[in-house]
Structure 1
């Protein structure tokens, strides 16, 4: 592989900026999106359908797009993700017809699938090419994860505040709606701001992510190599015990987070006594959760040193998250200030633990795969998280209110932690060595 011009420190700075620029627009949508749909007159059943379109599109394209990144290159796929998100946010912000909103959510899901591996794979490729297979990855992954969480937190606050601030200016909201025939309303301003940030993201990706030259990819090349790379990623989980733990614990985290996201809004409304004030509390909790995740990610290298290994750090992080979910379940029937404090503490522990576990978990993954299959492996991990989250959401939605749904999420995360109680076993294979070009199934190393 051609030695890249970027040193690891420069690659880290660019990776952190990429993480922040990509996730800030999505954070801007968290607070206003459902309210915007409601203001457009969309019934709740249709809104649920929109989100289902997003989730199913992302899940269906997760593996093919990961393979596409490994075949065509990180920069091209990441820039395409940004362009699709730009179009999606514009359509969702300004669209009033249901078909436009469905198209926007499908594009958003496609962008999500395209983005699930290329940036991290680019950073790992660059550092390993410069410093060799023994390069420290955990610190950089931790900083990227912290930047992601901080961007989501900032986006959540700004996305919730911008429509409110617009309403403080007399006549501004009505003037915008009148001048645009009702297309631009205060609730769509965060999404339009997100589209502008996506344009900056695409520009930065194109100009700031150098890659070594790749063989020219023809249509026949793509059709041949992408399925082979995807198949290699799926086989990897069956052949490598550590990678299998990464995928299974990602599913455990997905199930726990899905339960929390479904149950917390109702819990917040119960604590405050009204849906409106509950929504405000939930927004504050979501922001606090992202900040706790950022803190956990920042502390991940320290946690690994104190625990003695990355594997033990993953176990402790997931265990901390499980204790947070169980604390939420224990206070689910309680009321009053004490219950609110305990619930907030549990919520913070969940995201602190997940944030601390993530960088060490991904470092394990990157040390077991080759550059040719790195993005695909990340896509398999993301797919495990999404599918487990969807299944957990369906189960939790049919359980009676009370501690039981919370306990299900806590049990899932605890099971993920228990996966890491065993030792690492044999040393990682030489993932830095590329698989032979004539053996597509060797794109990912395995035991």
Structure 2
């Protein structure tokens, strides 16, 4: 059996996994909707594709988290990579609605499978080496920063490659359509490049993420084990105040970010005066947001030390993000250079604050759950984020454009921050979280590291 890596090597491998997984997702951000349009899909069909993705991910979030806790992190991550590989190939080459829809469903399934196993592997490995009180926040922050960096780079590449390949009639990419009868368009190239990266991701996961031996799994055992694991993870959120706050604040962040992503493209188009130039501005803003989120994650250990505890760091981070949203709301009714500068500053502050809060939230979460429920707890956290995003997105759609939707987003994120104004009382370890160091996590007002 491959020897488990030391703590430093585990951190490097976790960062590499984050980059390899999220780079293909970043490559799709700019070209995907435009590619669907180029294939002749209506906006109603495109909305249906994205709904299929979201509903699939939400429906499978908890069962696949339990699958990771039963079968192991490496197998589930590899399966996620293979599903994303198939999804990107179908999206890049497909021309019919059912093929493109299938690609979105497969991507939603891969998203659900990937929610938690890599982080759970890192925490399991570090705690196996250094004990349950091991320092986690710095490694989690580096993984979050790497994710943001991969998304930022992917967004730039995904937006730039089609322009370079198809620039002008008879341009450098004109050979694509003729050589493949239109199957490969310039807008397809980022997705096919992402599929190639997924191959590297699967190979890296299978070779670089050793796990301790698990009992031989049977189909019957897996099916019997998943419901119990999921139920245990849900019960943990019901009886542990710290875990419950993590889940609720994840929901508030998901709702706020969903509103930002929904409202920003229209505001960008309004600022530039045209949808095409607005799309370019939105791509630049999205990249800026990822960079700010990565910077916030990188600064999370420092923020926790300065704040005095992980709980206070979450409060400050989400509070800063809420301030950015309020700034966006205050400038929504105005035009001019000063208003635009303040709006961009508010946009960056949202992602900076949410990015800074994330590693501290997850550090607190991991100190309240055992390995048997770790991936499930991360899936519950992700599910809370997605469901809150769907609900607040629907609510914003019923509001008129202007300051009010931005202020709603700010209120949602501020509510998540206020959850951390009171430090929870120390709790005795429970069956779901009973290990050395758990009680210390709750009473970490004495500022244990990030």
Q: Considering the TM-score relative to the shorter chain, is it more than 0.5?
A: yes
1:116-265 aligned at under 5 Å gives the runs 116-168=115-167, 170-265=170-265
Q: Which moved more, 1:426-435 or 1:16-25?
A: 426-435
Q: Distance in 2 between matches of 1:286 and 1:428?
A: 43
Partner of 1:277: 277
* Offset, 1:274: 1.1
Compared CA separation, residues 309 and 3, structure 1 to 2 (3 A): farther
Q: Distance in 2 between matches of 1:288 and 1:62?
A: 29
Q: Distance in 1 between matches of 2:261 and 2:184?
A: 29
Q: Distance in 2 between matches of 1:22 and 1:307?
A: 32
* Offset, 1:400: 0.6
Partner of 2:321: 321
Partner of 2:84: 85
Partner of 1:58: 57
Q: Distance in 2 between matches of 1:152 and 1:331?
A: 27
Q: Distance in 2 between matches of 1:375 and 1:3?
A: 22
Is the counterpart of residue 405 in structure 1 residue 394 in structure 2?
no
Q: Distance in 2 between matches of 1:314 and 1:383?
A: 19
* Offset, 1:429: 3.0
* Offset, 1:234: 1.0
Q: Distance in 1 between matches of 2:435 and 2:72?
A: 15
* Offset, 1:424: 3.2
Q: Distance in 2 between matches of 1:200 and 1:111?
A: 16
Partner of 1:42: 41
> What is the count of residue pairs matched by the alignment?
436
Task: Say which SS state the counterpart of residue 192 (structure 1) adopts.
Answer: helix
Residues 177 and 185, structure 1, Cα contact 8 Å, conserved in 2: yes
Q: Distance in 2 between matches of 1:429 and 1:113?
A: 29
Q: Distance in 1 between matches of 2:261 and 2:389?
A: 10
Q: Distance in 2 between matches of 1:10 and 1:265?
A: 40
Q: Distance in 2 between matches of 1:255 and 1:41?
A: 31
* Offset, 1:220: 1.4
Q: Distance in 1 between matches of 2:276 and 2:323?
A: 29
Compared CA separation, residues 418 and 432, structure 1 to 2 (3 A): closer
Task: Say which SS state the counterpart of residue 425 (structure 2) adopts.
Answer: coil
Q: Distance in 2 between matches of 1:339 and 1:185?
A: 39
Is the counterpart of residue 390 in structure 1 residue 390 in structure 2?
yes
Residues 316 and 417, structure 2, Cα contact 8 Å, conserved in 1: yes
Query: TM-score under structure 1 normalisation?
Result: 0.95
Compared CA separation, residues 3 and 43, structure 1 to 2 (3 A): closer
Q: Which runs of 5+ in 1 are unaligned?
A: 436-445
Residues 132 and 435, structure 2, Cα contact 8 Å, conserved in 1: no
1:164-203 Cα deviation digits (max 9, x unpaired): 1112484443321111111000001000000000000000
Q: Distance in 2 between matches of 1:210 and 1:433?
A: 25
Structure 1's consecutive aligned runs of 4 or more residues displaced over 2 angstroms after TM superposition are 2-5, 167-174, 427-435
Query: TM-score under structure 2 normalisation?
Result: 0.95
Partner of 1:96: 95
* Offset, 1:223: 1.1
Residues 4 and 211, structure 2, Cα contact 8 Å, conserved in 1: no
Q: Distance in 1 between matches of 2:434 and 2:422?
A: 27
Compared CA separation, residues 390 and 146, structure 1 to 2 (3 A): same
Q: Distance in 2 between matches of 1:280 and 1:343?
A: 17
* Offset, 1:433: 5.4
Q: Distance in 2 between matches of 1:74 and 1:151?
A: 21
Q: Distance in 2 between matches of 1:247 and 1:234?
A: 10
1:346-385 aligned at under 5 Å gives the runs 346-385=346-385
Task: Say which SS state the counterpart of residue 173 (structure 2) adopts.
Answer: helix
Residues 156 and 283, structure 1, Cα contact 8 Å, conserved in 2: yes
* Offset, 1:368: 0.3
Residues 315 and 417, structure 2, Cα contact 8 Å, conserved in 1: yes
* Offset, 1:4: 5.7
* Offset, 1:327: 0.6
Q: Distance in 2 between matches of 1:24 and 1:134?
A: 32
1:233-272 Cα deviation digits (max 9, x unpaired): 1111110001000000000001100100000000111111
Task: Say which SS state the counterpart of residue 52 (structure 2) adopts.
Answer: helix
Is the counterpart of residue 105 in structure 1 residue 75 in structure 2?
no
